[in-house]
Amino acid sequence: MKKIAILLLISTVLSCGGSKSKRVVTTKSESQTVRKNRKRPSNRNSQTKTATKNNSTIETIPVSNRTIANIISKAESFEGVKYKYGGTTKKGMDCSGLLYTSFGSENIAIPRTSSALSTYGDWVDVKQVQEGDLLFFATRRNSRTINHVGMVTSSRAGRVEFIHASTSKGVMTSLLSERYWYFAFVQARRIL
């Protein structure tokens, strides 16, 4: 019984994402193939998202500004929903569940947990973030381990807004320049 309690405690501490939904697992060779195939043109309207399995392409999804807008719109439709660890519905949502559901609405599969998402896609300098990019945070005291994620909804010089599921206030929009988020920020990544 003690082992089960310890395992539950560890899984809760490691990430805000739950285990109710499937997780994307890739081998090292699959991961390298995805990165190699994901060279992006500078124009976001002509991007494609390529997924691979056993080193063969299985799906190519055209990515446009409309796709990004739809993903953001889906995330914003959950605004005000209470926080629920492992949640992916209007009954309750966690930070990675919000993104998993929003990207899924456009048939784009992403990893289910914030820690898995933090290695997915391409690193982006925070000064270069665009709508749809992901922001990663370490919210535990004296730790730089990523345990929270949000998605950029608006980016202008010096002002980055992002949507996320806060444990205290549920799904909400915040500013990266807010003291708490500014100091908790770890990295930004671009999936699309």
Q: Mind telling me the catalytic residues?
A: 95, 148, 164
The candidate with the shortest Cα–Cα distance to 111, out of 94, 126, 93, 99, is 99
Phi and psi for 106 in degrees, rounded to 5?
A: -110, 20
H/E stretch holding 152 reads: strand 148-156
Overall residue count recorded for the chain in this entry: 192
Radius of gyration of the chain (CA): 16
Cα separation, 153 vs 132, whole angstroms: 6
